[in-house]
Amino acid sequence: MAREVIMPKLGLTMEEGVINKWFVREGERVEKGDPLFEVATDKVNMEVESPASGVVLKILYPEGATVPITEVVAYIGEEGEEVPVPGKKAPGEQPEAGERVAGEQVMTQKTETGTETAKERIKASPLARKLAQEYGIDLATITGTGPGGRIVKEDVERAKRALEEAKKQEIPVVEEAPVTEEVKGKVVPLSRMRQIIAQRMVESARTKPHFFVFQEILAEELVKMRERLLPLVEKETGLRVSYTDILVKVVAKALERYPLLYASFTEEGIVFHEHVNIGVAVALEDGLIVPVVKEVERKSIAQITRELHDLVERAKAGKLTPEEISGGTFTISNLGMFGVDAFTAIINPPESAILACGAIKKKPVFDGKDIVPLAVMELVLSCDHRIVDGAVAAQFMQFLKTLLEEPFALLL
């Protein structure tokens, strides 16, 4: 009997998903665990694997279709096996996109010239797939050197080494799709990610009464702390500790003293969360995503470095799970690596605050005797005034300033 492939529920709040792309075509054989299609939810893109081995008998929804959870999207079985047909249309009536009907269903995409194109499935050995998933590398970015262009273990290892070289760069580069002549003067439809970002940010700005607290800190000790931590963390993890890694730990220490800053507002009252779960905003090509480091108060800077590096790499590869981008209680957005002095950020619902971090720059500072060049950093805290008052926000920023300017205070 043909096996149903359904739209999975990938998160507690997920009600529907968009089929971004199919990795297979009707008539192709797949093995259990092979990727079938990619789903875009309101939080993340994920690949859905085949629940069984067999032939793809029928694909019911085209790319771009929005499908409710648990809805059947395809059938897998033995070649020639019949698939269920719920009913037929009246003579001359055209089937809706993605409807399960008798007859052929167009699953190819058409270009402006009418030429049909199909998405080829990525050829890779099982070991290569396993390693790529482990390393957080998108197979689509790898050129296969095996028979017939098949991606093998050596190709994945080579891609991993290339990523390790790239990560040593201090300034990240966010690639943006070029504005071509074909789109100038035209309306370009929003991506699913951009739609969700727009919806959530408008909702946050409309429902949360934001206020902002600006704080300048002397970052001399923070710079020295990172320099001392670099060889220690690299020896333990093989990774270079970043300022963001350190900020995650230091901010968590400050939040423990001021729990209102990582609480949430509800109509029933204020929810005080058990753990400090810090989200870190990561820029992607078509938007941004906020992976979450859970229970930061229990983790060392080395653990945070390792976990955050893994989350960021898989965020860029589109490999995060819904659990890894949910449950945040506070967010850090750092644009310092782009040379930004200061900025204000919109709170990420349902959180009550977000910290925006600017660049560390040398500036002339009066030290009580002379004007000397010192490293300075601008921090801006955005707060939900329904929960947090100005005095509490100011005290939090004062304590955070103390921790960053006197790192030994972390031991208190």
**β-sheet bridge partners, residue 372:** 365
Burial class (CB in 10 A: 0-12, 13-18, 19+), 148: exposed
Burial class (CB in 10 A: 0-12, 13-18, 19+), 355: buried
Q: What is the DSSP letter of 350?
A: T
Nearest to 337 by CA among 360, 313, 310: 360
- Cα separation values, 178 from 139, 175, 181, 184, 193, Å: 23, 9, 10, 11, 18
Q: Peptide bond preceding 231: is omega within 30 degrees of 0, i.e. cis?
A: no
Instruction: Give the CA angle between residues 277, 283, 288 to the nearest 5°.
Output: 70
Pairing assessment for the beta strands 16-22 and 35-40 based on DSSP bridges: antiparallel
Tokens standing for residue 264: 């949430």
Which segments of 238-367 does DSSP mark as H helices, in order? 243-257, 301-316
Q: What is the DSSP letter of 313?
A: H
Tokens standing for residue 139: 């197979």
Residues in the chain: 412
Tokens standing for residue 3: 């096996």
Query: What's the CA gap between 73 and 69, in Å, rounded?
Result: 10
Q: Which helix (H) or strand (E) holds 99?
A: none
Burial class (CB in 10 A: 0-12, 13-18, 19+), 15: exposed
Which residues have a catalytic role annotated? 385, 389
Query: What's the CA gap between 295 and 252, in Å, rounded?
Result: 9
Q: What is the DSSP string of 106-172?
A: --SEE-TT--EE-PPPPPB-HHHHHHHHHHT--GGG----SGGG-B-HHHHHHHHHHHHHHTT-SS-
